[in-house]
Amino acid sequence: MSNLIKDILRTVTETLQIPTIIVLLILIAAAIFMIGSLLVEIFSDRRRLKAKIPKVIDDIQGMSSLELDQYIKHCGLLRRQKKALHELITRDSLPDNSREALARELLFEEQSHYEKVTKVSDVIARIAPMFGLMGTLIPLGPGLIALGQGDTRTLSQSLLIAFDTTVAGLISGAVSFVISAIRKNWYEKYVVGLETIMECVLDVQDREKDKKDAAEPVKAVKKASRRRMEPAIQAPPVVPPPAPVKPERPAESVMSEDFWE
């Protein structure tokens, strides 16, 4: 019974050798693809990133929303940073709490995007050495059996497969680890810079709103003073209707009344 179980386990492990090699080839291809994407990112986005965060903060002070939008479009920030700032600037009519919530949501979206990009390289950096170790140990079993039987040819083939899979796993993991570390450093700076500019944009919009609110009472006072200075149109006096005139009695009737009395 024990021999049967051992034979089943050996069969299972031997059948995993080809899938392990296939996975390692896929990981090597993924590592090569990440190297190409990193180079593309360097020569595309990184070359466009010429804006200095302190200079951007100094430049946007005192700008209106329209001026802010035009400045962000033509400054040397990343394309994703410009898009997020445009979404925030164009909604300057929202209340203060709503604009702050929108800024947090936009910042969270950027963090999620960068985490998705680095998650792939993190996963490869972790699982590649594991599959490399599997590819090393699986062919050692038949190799040891061949060594006991004096079959050096089978032993050399097993050792060759073991060394190849180990190297493939280590190379894939090392490349992915380096790329992940580089990108995490970049993306952390991107997010911190975006958060700083968003806070400055919110401050500029708050000051602009305060100026508008302070200007409204002044306009109301000027309008009221203009009304007082305008000549009032007097309504014509209301003339009461003439009272009815009571007719006087003739003199004869007066005499007749005195007579009868």
Query: Is residue 226 domain-resident?
Result: no
Query: Is residue 214 domain-resident?
Result: no
Total structural domains in the chain? 1
Q: Which two tokens mark 177?
A: 């680890």
Query: Is residue 184 domain-resident?
Result: yes
Query: Is residue 141 domain-resident?
Result: yes
3-state helix, strand, coil in the chain (%, to 5): 80, 0, 20
Give pLDDT tens digits for 187-234. Answer: 999 999 999 999 998 888 888 877 777 766 655 455 555 555 555 445
What domain range is 117 assigned to?
Answer: 2-208
Q: Which two tokens mark 247?
A: 């007719």
237's CB contacts (< 8 A; 6+ apart) are none
Query: Is residue 234 domain-resident?
Result: no
pLDDT of 172 strictly over 60: yes
Query: Is residue 191 domain-resident?
Result: yes
Give pLDDT tens digits for 68-89. Answer: 888 888 888 888 888 998 888 8
- Identify the CA nearest to 28 among candidates 117, 132, 119: 132
* Confidence (pLDDT) at 256: 45
Query: Is residue 156 domain-resident?
Result: yes
d(CA 158, CA 215): 85
Task: With cut-offs at 50, 70 and 90, classify the pLDDT of residue 67.
Answer: confident
Query: Is residue 261 domain-resident?
Result: no
pLDDT of 173 strictly over 90: yes
Range of weakest confidence among 80-94, 145-159, 165-179, 226-240:
226-240
Full-model pTM: 0.72
Mean pLDDT, all residues of the chain: 81
Give pLDDT tens digits for 235-254. Answer: 455 556 665 555 554 544 44
